[in-house]
């Protein structure tokens, strides 16, 4: 199975970068499944139903989120009804939506997409490892599911690495999001799980994590009149990962970083 995953989409620049490069990505990588992280799509914080439907209409198969999953209040009923939009699995049990979705391809192959949220330097959450252990009681790679893709939305690189090694050999891929900076450690771990600490963001990189640099710099200077964060609106770059798995074992056989710049 061939999987494309694009990291945190930040604002209009990120949305347009993914939508405008969608056909190019499909042609180059021929993915069976196309997943994106949309938690910063709506002016940098959250996502709306309209945006989700635009992505789905283009051909996106599933959208993960993260700590900003519920920033747009209007998304809550849609998250309950849309199985392809997921929030972190270890959110409180009565939270809207689900932390995973199962997609069946036209040829009958199935992929489980899961999102976890880290706890170091982030809001208090249930233990992500306990949450996924409980979920994986019903899914066994290479037996009743062809691929398992896990997005770990976390701040600390050590926490992401720990999740990767904890799930090594039990899932097809563990891929990090949230820090908006692509890391250069794409690899397949020794038991067959594809891994990258952070795939980076989709957005304008002439910025501070996708936002105009003026406000973050003013905040760093301690200015009392520092304004709210505003997404940068230059040409966006797509950052993500391409993974290919073995349909018999569900383990990764190839993984590579994906970066498409405006000039490409």
The three-point CA angle 29-259-14 to 5° equals 105
- Residue ranges of the alpha helices (H) in 30-168? 49-58, 75-81, 128-135, 157-167
Q: Is 124 exposed, middle or buried (0-12, 13-18, 19+ CB in 10 A)?
A: exposed
Sort strands 62-64 and 33-37 into parallel, antiparallel or unpaired.
parallel
Catalytic residue numbers read 68
Q: Is 144 exposed, middle or buried (0-12, 13-18, 19+ CB in 10 A)?
A: exposed
CA dist., res. 114 & res. 103, Å (int): 11
Do residues 138 and 175 touch, judged by C-beta distance below 8 A? no
Count CA atoms closer than 13 A to 183's CA, side-chain side: 17
First to last CA, the chain: 26
Secondary structure of residue 178 in the 3-state scheme = coil
């Amino acid at each position: 199975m061939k999987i494309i995953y694009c990291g945190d989409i930040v604002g209009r620049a990120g949305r347009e970068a993914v939508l405008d490069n969608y056909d190019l990505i499909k042609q180059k990588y021929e993915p069976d499944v196309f997943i994106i992280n949309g938690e910063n799509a709506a002016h940098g914080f959250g996502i709306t139903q309209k945006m989700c439907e635009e992505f789905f209409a283009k051909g996106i198969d599933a959208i993960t989120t993260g700590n900003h999953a519920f920033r747009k209040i209007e998304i809550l009923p849609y998250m309950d009804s849309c199985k392809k939009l997921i929030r972190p699995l270890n959110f409180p049990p009565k939270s809207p939506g689900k932390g995973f979705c199962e997609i069946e391809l036209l040829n009958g192959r199935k992929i489980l997409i899961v999102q976890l949220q880290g706890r170091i330097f982030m809001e208090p959450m249930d233990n992500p490892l306990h949450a996924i252990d409980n979920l994986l009681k019903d899914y066994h790679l290479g037996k009743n599911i062809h691929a398992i893709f896990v997005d770990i939305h976390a701040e600390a690189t050590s926490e992401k690495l720990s999740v990767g090694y904890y799930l090594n050999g039990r899932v097809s891929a563990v891929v990090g999001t949230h820090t908006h900076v692509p890391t250069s450690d794409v690899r397949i771990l020794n038991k067959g799980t594809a891994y990258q600490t952070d795939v980076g963001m989709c957005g304008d990189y002439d910025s501070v994590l996708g936002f105009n640099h003026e406000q973050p710099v003013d905040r760093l200077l301690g200015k009392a009149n520092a304004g709210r964060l505003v997404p940068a609106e230059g040409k966006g770059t797509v950052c993500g990962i391409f993974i290919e798995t073995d349909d018999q074992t569900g383990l990764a056989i190839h993984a590579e970083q994906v970066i498409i710049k405006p000039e490409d």
